[in-house]
Structure 1
Amino acid sequence: MREHTGSNWHAYVNHTFVQQLAQGTLPITAFKHYLVQDYLFLTHFARAYALLVSKLRSVRHMRFATASLNATLDELPLHIHYCAQWGIDEKQLQTATEAFETIAYTRYVLDIGHAGDSLDLLSALLPCVAGYAEIGLTLLQRPDVQLERHPYAAWIHNYGDAAYLDGVKSALALTDELWRERGTESRFDEVSAIFTTATQLETRFWQMGLNAASEASA
C-alpha cells in the first residue's frame, strides 16, 4: 500500500514541516499549533481503535487492537505534559477548536471504520502509525540531525522509541493476518485507495502547522 501511494508517501514523510523540524528551524508557532491539533487528533484516534475492537472477531485480534487503544489513551497524559513544556496547559487543549484539517482527517478515518470492515479501518489508521515510525527512525539515523540542544529532540526520540516501534509492529502484524483472512486481489485497490487518502490527509495535517505560522506572522 505504501508503494501504491506513488509520490504521496514521499510528500508525507518528507514534508517541509518534517524537514524544518529535523533541522530545528521549524517556527515554534507552527509546532505549538500542531501539538494542540495532535491532541485533538489522538482523542479521535482512540475512538477509531475502540471501533476497531468492535469489528474484530477473534479474542487475540481484539487484544492487539485493545493494546493500541490503551497505548493511544496512555499517550494523552504524556502529550499534555509535553505541551505544558511549551506553555500550553490542559484547559487550552481541551477547549481548543478543531482545525478543518483535523476534522477532515479524523472524520474520514471514523467514516471508513463505520462503513467498512476491520481491514478498511486499519488501512486508514496505518499511515499515521507507520509513517511516524518511519519519520522518527529516519531522523534518528540522519547524520545531519544533531539532537544535542535540539528544540524538538524529545518529539523525534518518541517516534523512534522501542515501545512505539513495538506497537507499530503489532499493527502491521494484525494487518497481515486480516489480509490473509479476508483480503483478495480485487480488494487491494480499495484498501490502497483508503491508505492513500489517509496519507494525503497526513500531509495536509503537516501543512496546517506551517499555515498557522504564516498566518501568525502576516
Structure 2
Amino acid sequence: MATTTSTAAHMSLASVTLEVADPEAARRFYSAFGVDTYIRLRASEAHTTGFRGFTLGLTVSGPATVDGFVGAAVAAGATILKPAAKSLWGYGGVVQAPDGTIWKIATSAKRNNGPDTRTVDEIVLLLGVEAVKATKQFYAGQGLTVSKSVGSKYVEFAAGQSSPLKLALYKRRALAKDLGVPADGTGSHRIVLGGTAGAFTDPDGFAWEAAAPLAPTPS
C-alpha cells in the first residue's frame, strides 16, 4: 500500500490526444483556432456516433477573448452549438470542431472591459461520467489529487506543475445538456489521456496512456 501511494502521488494529466480521421485537416483547424499547442492529434477510424462524453474548455480573461476564440473557430470551419452569451456565471459559448470535438470557451467576467488577448488561462478536460462519486474515488486511487468537489455533481483534480491541463468530472447527461447536445452516443470517445503514470481505462471507458508533458509554448 505504501509503495502504491508514493507512486500515485505524482499522477496528473499531462497531455490530451484527439483521435481524428484526417490529422492534417485537424492540424490546420486547431492552428487557426489557436489551441494547437494544447493538444496532440492521432489518426483513427474508430467508430463513434453522437455525444463522445467529454468537452475541452478554455478559460479566458474576458468576453472579448471568448468572442475571439469563437470567431476563429467558426472561421476555420467549426459549428456553433451555443452562441456566446452572458449567464449567471459569466460569459461563454460552445463550438464543435470539424472532427467532432466539442469546445467550450468561457470567462467568469461579465463586463467586456478588456481587449481580445487570445490567451488561454486554463484548459479543462471535462469528462461526462455516469457516477461522479465512484469515478472520483477511482481517480483518487490512481493518484490524482481532488482540488474541488461538489457532492455527486462535479469534481475537479489538481493540475500538474508542468501541465496547462486540468481534469474534471461531471454527470454525462448534465454535461450534454450544458453543451446543447443529446446525451446519447456510442463507440469510441476519440480521445486518449496522457498521464504521468501507467496505462489504464476508467469506469466510463476513457483510456489513459503514459505520456510526457506537453512542451512549453515558445515565448
Q: What TM-score, normalized by structure 1, do the two folds share?
A: 0.30
Query: Greater relative contact order: 1 or 2 (C-alpha under 8 angstroms, separation 6 or more)?
Result: 1
Q: What TM-score, normalized by structure 2, do the two folds share?
A: 0.30
Structure with greater strand share of residues: 2
Structure with greater helix share of residues: 1
